[in-house]
């Protein structure tokens, strides 16, 4: 009779486990996931990572007498609760689960505590689809991402509370609603997690990423008088890149081109730093900037490089930016934050521009931030173009 009881209990446990596994799979497939993680302890208890095989062995060892059968039921009850954490929610006291919203839980990627064993499951088509999205944050980036149509937009997350009634936030929500984008109200903590603690201004947008454009996708007409292209070599700081894009757009640069090698991607951080300009204007990427420059020189363009105020180059004339006149199509080259222009690109320059200092400088601070220097140079060149036209 005791042997039959063990077999019966084991059979019931197998049935429970199969039912729970079936429900768990349904729950996973029916959820939405992104690559933005949420604190694991808020979503999945540590017990949930115990190997199911180890649980079964533990249960069999606990059955030995009538006094231990109650202990077996206790273990089975814990296993029932640990197999699928969602079931715990039904028995939790009200308010225990207030630390994270249901919307972000639906977007979570099964985070588990460090050292725990991650359950193995097949990657669904829905997971692959969501992995192709990223979180855009900030009023201007989200609004322009919705209105410009360069991204595929999926969901808009808005901070719950009085902040959601601001005119700027309502405008973003209105644009999302008109385009059939779902709007979800979440807590500030959720938005902080999505934006990795950056300034999100109460809105985050799940959208497809933006990439560098290629010459093959070029449909914009080139101005016929004296166009100015800004060429960036290995700009690695997303804040610098965003600020450069903002200045280039404001001042009227005709195109921004960048090296693909050792350059930062067009990320949501760049979009926020550009105040959404990255959502409006495309940035062209080139595997080999030197080849593109040589082609433009053959078409009658001039290549203008940039160097520090005290730089000297025997074979290339160095001119103060205020003295330079842009009279023909021009490519302005900007080098990386640390090293400046490479020798390969410097060798292709016909003129080098420098920004004169307004005082005697202390060593180690004799240069400008690359985004600030770019803004000054662009303003000087474009002003000279207008004065000669």
From first to last of its 389 residues, the chain has per-residue pLDDT tens of 444 444 555 555 455 445 544 444 333 333 333 333 333 333 333 343 444 444 444 444 444 434 444 444 444 444 334 333 333 333 444 444 444 444 444 444 333 344 444 444 444 444 445 668 999 999 999 999 999 999 999 999 999 988 778 999 999 999 999 999 999 999 999 999 999 999 999 999 999 999 999 987 666 666 668 999 999 999 999 999 999 999 999 999 999 999 999 999 999 999 999 999 999 999 999 999 999 999 999 999 999 999 876 666 668 889 999 999 999 999 999 999 888 999 999 999 999 999 998 888 888 787 899 999 999 999 999 998 876 65
Instruction: Extract the tokens encoding 255.
Output: 């195109």
Q: Give me the long-range contacts of 192-199 (CB less than 8 A, separation at least 24).
A: 193/36, 193/37, 193/38, 193/39, 193/104, 194/36, 194/104, 194/135, 194/137, 194/157, 195/135, 195/137, 195/268, 198/137, 198/269, 198/272, 199/137, 199/138, 199/272
DSSP string, 220-232: SPPPSS--EEEEE
Homologous superfamily of 133-207: Ribosomal protein L30/S12 (3.30.1330.30)
Listed residue (303, 310, 319, 325) closest to 380, CA to CA: 325
Instruction: Extract the tokens encoding 332.
Output: 């302005």
Burial of 191 (0-12, 13-18, 19+ CB in 10 A): buried
Listed residue (86, 102, 98) closest to 185, CA to CA: 102
Whole-Å CA distances, 164 to 30, 68, 170, 171, 243: 28, 56, 7, 10, 28
Is 215-357+367-388 the same fold as 133-207? no
Whole-Å CA distances, 137 to 87, 134, 200, 371: 33, 10, 5, 22
Q: What is the pTM of this model?
A: 0.67
pLDDT reported for residue 239: 97
Rg (CA), the chain: 30
Distance in angstroms between the alpha carbons of the first and the last residue of the chain: 103
pLDDT reported for residue 314: 64
**Where in the chain are the domains?**
2-32+41-88, 133-207, 215-357+367-388
Q: Report the C-alpha gap between 249 and 258 in whole angstroms.
A: 15
pLDDT reported for residue 168: 95
- CATH label, 215-357+367-388, candidates 3.40.50.300, 3.40.1280.10, 3.40.640.10, 2.60.40.740: 3.40.1280.10
pLDDT reported for residue 1: 43
Q: Where are the alpha helices (DSSP H) in 63-166?
A: 66-83, 88-91, 102-107, 125-131, 139-148
């Amino acid at each position: 009779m005791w042997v039959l009881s063990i077999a019966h209990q084991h059979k019931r446990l197998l049935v429970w486990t199969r039912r729970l596994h079936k429900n768990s799979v349904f729950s996973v497939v029916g959820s939405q996931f992104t690559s933005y993680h949420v604190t694991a302890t808020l979503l999945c208890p540590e017990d949930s990572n115990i190997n199911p095989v180890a649980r079964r062995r533990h249960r069999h060892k606990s059955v030995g007498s009538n006094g231990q059968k109650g202990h077996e039921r206790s273990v089975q009850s814990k296993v029932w609760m640990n197999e699928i954490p969602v079931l715990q929610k039904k028995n939790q006291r009200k308010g225990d689960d207030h630390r994270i919203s249901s919307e972000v839980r639906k977007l979570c990627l099964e985070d588990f505590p460090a050292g725990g064993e991650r359950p193995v499951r097949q990657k669904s088509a829905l997971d692959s689809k969501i992995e192709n999205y990223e979180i855009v944050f900030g009023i201007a980036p989200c609004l322009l991402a919705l209105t410009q149509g360069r991204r595929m937009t999926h969901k808009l997350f808005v901070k719950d509370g009085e902040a959601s009634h601001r005119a700027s936030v309502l405008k973003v929500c209105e644009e999302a609603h008109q385009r059939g984008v779902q709007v979800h109200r979440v807590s500030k903590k959720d938005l902080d997690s999505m934006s990795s603690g950056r300034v999100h201004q109460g809105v985050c947008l799940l959208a497809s990423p933006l990439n560098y454009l290629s010459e093959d996708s070029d449909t914009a007409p080139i101005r016929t008088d004296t166009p100015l292209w800004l060429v960036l070599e290995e700009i690695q700081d997303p804040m610098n890149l965003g600020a450069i894009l903002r200045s280039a757009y404001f001042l009227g640069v005709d195109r921004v081109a960048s090296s693909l090698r050792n350059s930062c991607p067009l990320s949501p951080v760049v979009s926020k730093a550009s105040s959404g300009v990255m959502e409006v204007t495309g940035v062209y990427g080139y595997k080999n900037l030197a080849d593109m420059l040589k082609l433009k020189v053959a078409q009658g363009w001039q290549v203008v490089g940039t160097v520090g105020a005290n730089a000297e180059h025997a074979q290339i004339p160095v001119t103060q930016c205020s003295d330079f006149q842009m009279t023909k199509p021009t490519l302005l080259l900007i080098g990386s934050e640390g090293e400046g222009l490479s020798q390969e690109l410097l060798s292709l320059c016909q003129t080098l521009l420098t920004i004169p200092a307004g005082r005697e400088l202390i060593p180690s601070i004799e240069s400008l931030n690359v985004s600030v220097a770019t803004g000054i140079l662009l303003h000087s060149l474009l002003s000279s173009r207008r004065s000669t036209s």
